[in-house]
Amino acid sequence: MDRLSLTEEALGIRLPYNIEAEQAVIGASIVNSSLVDDVVSFLSPEHFYHEQNRAIYNEIYLMHTAGHPIDFITITDAVFTSKVFDTIEETKLYLFNVTQTVPSVTNITFYAQIIYDKYLIRSLINTARDIIENSNSSDDAKSMLEYAEQKIYEIRTGRNSSDLYVMKEVLLNTLEDLQKRSGPDREKYLGIRTGFHFLDNKINGLNKSDLIVLAARPSVGKTALALNIATNIVKKNTFDVAFFSLEMTANQLVGRILAAENSIDTNSFTKGNINIDEWKKIADSTEHLSKAQLYFDDTSGITVNEVKAKSRRLKNLGLIIVDYLQLMGSPGRHESRVQEVAEITRAFKVMAKELNVPVLLLSQLNRATERQARRPILSDLRDSGTIEQDADIVIFIHEPNKNAPKGSPDHDLPENSRVLMVQKNRHGETGNLYLHWEPTYTLFSTLELYYDD
C-alpha cells in the first residue's frame, strides 16, 4: 500500500471524484463543440481524476486552443494517435458511449464545475497530508506557516509547482498570448502602463513576473517616482497595488500623493499650513483617491516572506512596490551583507514569478557616483552584484551634475531635470530618457523634447 493510501486509511478519507461528470463533459464537447468555449476557461486536463478521461480531454483542450475542428472523427483520431487506448475499436467504443450517455449537453458548465470542485477537494486533502508530514519533521513554526500558506495559495490560484508542460501545449499557449497582444484589445495584455510615455515605450510597461529595480542615490527621488507610478496606475486600473515602505509611514506616503496630485508644497503637510483653497483641492482629490486600490504597509524590517504572505491576501493583485532593498533583512545567519542582499533579491525574483505580478524594488546606489560626479553604471548597485543578475529591468534615476563641463552628457540639461537610465532590459532596448522633477510637490513629469537612445 502506498503512502497516500496509508494516509487515507488512517484519516478515513477517500479522494473524491465524479466519473459521470467527466464523461459528460467529454461527450458534450464532441456532440456540440461550440460549448467547449464555456469550460476551457476554468477547466484544465489536470482537473480530471480518471487517467483516460484526462487524456481525452487534453486532446479536446489542445485542439480547441489550436482552432482545429472537434467532432467524433477528429477526436477519435487524436485519442488513438495519443495511444490512450490499445486499439481503434476500443477508442471508438468508449467515445461513442460517452456521447450517447450525456444527460444534457447544455449542462456542460455544471458538469465541469463538479469536476473542478472535486479536484479542489482532492488538492486540499493532498496538501493537508504534506503539511502534516512536514510539520512532524520541522520545529520552525514560522517556516511551516509560510509553507502551508504557499500550498493553499497554489490551490487557490490554480497553480501547481510540480507541473511539467509539453512543448506542444506551451507553443499553443504562446501563440494564443501573441494573438491577444496583437489584437484589438492588446492594451489589456501588454505590460502595466506607468504613466510615463517614453518609459513605457522603452521597457514595454511593467510585465508580469518581472523584477524591476529602480535605483538612485538618497534624496534623488526614487520614492517619489515610485509613488507617482503607483498613483498613475491605480487611477487607470482596477487591480490592487501593494506598496511596502520600510522608511516612511503610510501617512507620510499619502501626504506626498496629496501634495503631488494638488500641487501643494509638501512642507505645508509637515507644518500643517494648509489654506482654504488647498483644503478644497484636497477634498476634491480625496473623493477619487479613496476609491483607488492602493494598499500600504509600513512595517519596519519586513522580510520577503512577509511581503509575499501579505500580498497573497489581496484578491486582485497587480503590482508590488518595495521601498527599499537595503533596509530589508532575511532570517538566518549570513557570512556577509552582500550574501544577505543576494538572497533577498533572488527571493524577490522568485516571488514575482510565483505571484505572476511585476515587483518594483527600490534600491540605493554606492556613494562612488556621488564622489566622482558621474553617471551611475550597473556595478554601482549597492551591496551586491546579484541585484543586476536577478533583475529583469534596472533603471537608475540620475541627478545631473550642475557643474558638469561643457560637452559632457549632463551639460545644458534643463534645471530640475532627472535622467532615467534604463541600464538593463531583458525584453528590449536600453537607453536614457528625461523627466522634470518638481521637488516642492514631489512630482515627476515627462520632458518631451529630451529623449535619446
Q: How big is the chain by its Cα radius of gyration, in Å?
A: 27
> Pairing between strand 443-452 and 431-438?
antiparallel
What is the distance between the alpha carbons of residues 337 and 284, in angstroms, rounded to a whole number?
46
Q: Which of 47-56, 164-173, 210-219 has the lowest mean pLDDT?
A: 164-173
Instruction: Flag whether pLDDT at 137 surpasses 80.
Output: no
What is the distance between the alpha carbons of residues 450 and 63, in angstroms, rounded to a whole number?
50
Q: What is the mean pLDDT of the chain?
A: 84
Beta carbons of 39 and 28 less than 8 angstroms apart: no
Q: Which residues contact 207 (CB under 8 A, 6 or more apart)?
A: 191, 192, 358, 392, 427
pLDDT in tens, 271-309: 788 888 888 888 888 888 888 899 999 988 888 888 988
Beta carbons of 79 and 55 less than 8 angstroms apart: yes
pLDDT in tens, 167-176: 777 777 777 7
Instruction: Flag whether pLDDT at 245 surpasses 90.
Output: yes
Instruction: Flag whether pLDDT at 1 surpasses 50.
Output: no
% of the chain surpassing 90 pLDDT? 33
The pLDDT, as a whole number, for residue 10 is 47
The pLDDT, as a whole number, for residue 265 is 85
Q: Can you tell me the mean pLDDT for 387-394?
A: 87
The pLDDT, as a whole number, for residue 238 is 87
Instruction: Flag whether pLDDT at 402 surpasses 60.
Output: yes
Q: Which of 17-31, 274-288, 399-413 has the lowest mean pLDDT?
A: 399-413
Q: Tell me the pLDDT band of 92, cut-offs 50, 70 and 90.
A: very high
What is the distance between the alpha carbons of residues 6 and 312, in angstroms, rounded to a whole number?
33
For residue 324, is the peptide bond before it cis, meaning its omega torsion is within 30 degrees of 0? yes
Instruction: Flag whether pLDDT at 160 surpasses 60.
Output: no
Measured from the Cβ of residue 433, the count of other Cβ atoms closer than 10 Å reads 22
Q: Can you tell me the mean pLDDT for 226-241?
A: 92
Beta carbons of 209 and 353 less than 8 angstroms apart: yes
pLDDT in tens, 317-353: 999 999 988 888 776 666 777 788 888 888 899 889 8
The pLDDT, as a whole number, for residue 91 is 94
Q: Can you tell me the mean pLDDT for 74-79?
A: 94
Beta carbons of 377 and 385 less than 8 angstroms apart: no
The pLDDT, as a whole number, for residue 6 is 41
pLDDT in tens, 344-368: 888 899 889 888 999 999 998 876 6
Instruction: Flag whether pLDDT at 453 surpasses 50.
Output: no
The pLDDT, as a whole number, for residue 158 is 63
Q: What order do you get walking across the sheet with 294-297 strand by strand? A: 294-297, 240-245, 317-323, 359-364, 211-216, 393-398, 417-425, 431-438, 443-452
Q: Can you tell me the mean pLDDT for 196-222?
A: 90
> For the chain, how long is the longest CA-to-CA vector?
86
Q: Can you tell me the mean pLDDT for 29-40?
A: 89
